[in-house]
Amino acid sequence: MTLIQEIIKNAQEGKYAFGMFNTSNLEVAQGIARAAEEKKMPALIGITESAVEYAGFLPLVNMVKAVIEESSADLVMHLDHGKDSKFVKKCIDAGFSSVMVDSSHLEFEKNIEVTKDIVDYAHERGVVVQAELGKIPKLDTSVEAGVTLKQMEKTDPNEIEKFVEKTGVDTLAVIIGNVHGMYKPEGNPRLDIDLLHNLRKKVSIPFVLHGGSGTPSEDIKKAIKECGIISVNIDTEVRMVFVEALNDFFTSGQMATDPRKVLTLARDAVQKKVGEKINLFRGL
Ligand code: G3H
Ligand code: 13P
Ligand code: ZN
């Protein structure tokens, strides 16, 4: 059994979740690793295609690998939202043991076809695959929450069995009211726990919750305890504390000539936020 398979199995049996935290730089990756060490819990460090556009494939992948290698925590490098099959396969070849193939923008049968192709390629190489069924909207602060939320397509209970069976995927990202980005204060959408129960009755596959930032803690706890959510993705809240730490430093009138002085503050802020999320996901 690979480390990621073990992490998933333990979460399933223990009815807790582990976090998947995105990074595109060293300090965030280290903040995640340090939080996992401190809390003695596993975590996934996720990169996306746009993180690679920012940092470069080899610099980012080798940096994350090195952070994981040096850490005493159980950490796994994960590809998040792989929309391009060639890129997903490139990541598998580069040593990712966990990938997400995100063909949720395609129509149902095409989503099955693309996902299945990646599952076959990945499983031959011992790699775990997550897919997505339904469409998650991205809450952009420039767009009204209500407008963006209309783009949401929740996971259809009538499609889930066929999707899981035909693709052979290992874990599934379900769309149950969750959104990428922060919720607007006036329109916090809640997780549709009834739908999640309904989906759970149809399949036994472990579920993943995307868009964890800003989601009410009580909803997350319920989803984990009652319905087999074994992993929660967090990106926005980590980005926010990182930038906030830098803003706080400079607006306080302090000066730095060594970038490490301010980036240390940002890395510490990431460690604290990730630690809080890890506690929440294990039910504390
Ligand atoms: O779900 C997507 C994550 O928040 C990553 O976003 O494509 O800007 O890296 P990104
Ligand atoms: P948030 O940015 O809302 O935390 O979502 C993260 C995510 O789902 C990454 O795949
Ligand atoms: Zn996501």
Whether 170 sits among the annotated catalytic residues: the reply is no
Could you report the per-residue pLDDT of 187-220, keeping only the tens digit for each?
566 899 999 999 999 999 999 999 999 899 999 9
Say whether pLDDT at 244 is over 70.
yes
Which residues, judged by CB distance below 6 Å to any ligand atom, belong to the binding site of ligand 1?
A: 22, 48, 50-51, 81, 180, 235
Split at pLDDT 50, 70, 90, the class of 44 is very high
Region 252-267 average pLDDT: 96
% of the chain at pLDDT higher than 90: 90
Judged against a pLDDT cut of 50, whether residue 122 lies above it is answered with yes
Gap from CA of 48 to ligand 1 centroid (Å): 6
Question: Is the pLDDT score of 94 beyond 60?
Answer: yes
The predicted pLDDT at position 141 comes to 61
Q: Which atom of ligand 2 is nearest to the CA of 179?
A: 3
**What average pLDDT does the segment 32-39 reach?**
99
Residues around ligand 3, an ion, CB closer than 5 A: 210, 233
The minimum-distance atom of ligand 1 relative to the CA of 211 is 1
pLDDT for the residue numbered 138: 82
pLDDT band at 84 (very low <50, low <70, confident <90, very high): very high
Would you place residue 183 in the very low, low, confident or very high pLDDT band (cuts 50, 70, 90)? low
The pLDDT confidence band at residue 186, using thresholds 50, 70 and 90, is very low
Q: How far is the CA of 138 from the centre of ligand 3 (A)?
A: 9
Average pLDDT, the chain: 95
Ligand nearest to the CA of 52: 1
Which ligand 2 atom is nearest residue 237's CA? 4
Closest residue by Cα to atom 5, ligand 2, is: 211
pLDDT-above-70 percentage for the chain:
94
DSSP collapsed to 3 states, the chain: CCHHHHHHHHHHHHCCCEEEEECCCHHHHHHHHHHHHHHCCCEEEEECHHHHHHHCHHHHHHHHHHHHHHCCCCEEEEEEEECCHHHHHHHHHCCCCEEEECCCCCCHHHHHHHHHHHHHHHHHCCCEEEEEECECCECCCCCCHHHHHCCCECCCCCCHHHHHHHHCCCEEEECCCCCECCCCHHHCCCCCHHHHHHHHHHCCCCEEECCCCCCCHHHHHHHHHHHCEEEEEECHHHHHHHHHHHHHHHHCCCCCCCHHHHHHHHHHHHHHHHHHHHHHHCCC
Return the CATH class of domain 3-281: alpha beta
147 pLDDT tier (thresholds 50, 70, 90)? low
Q: Atom 4 (ligand 1): residue with closest C-alpha?
A: 235
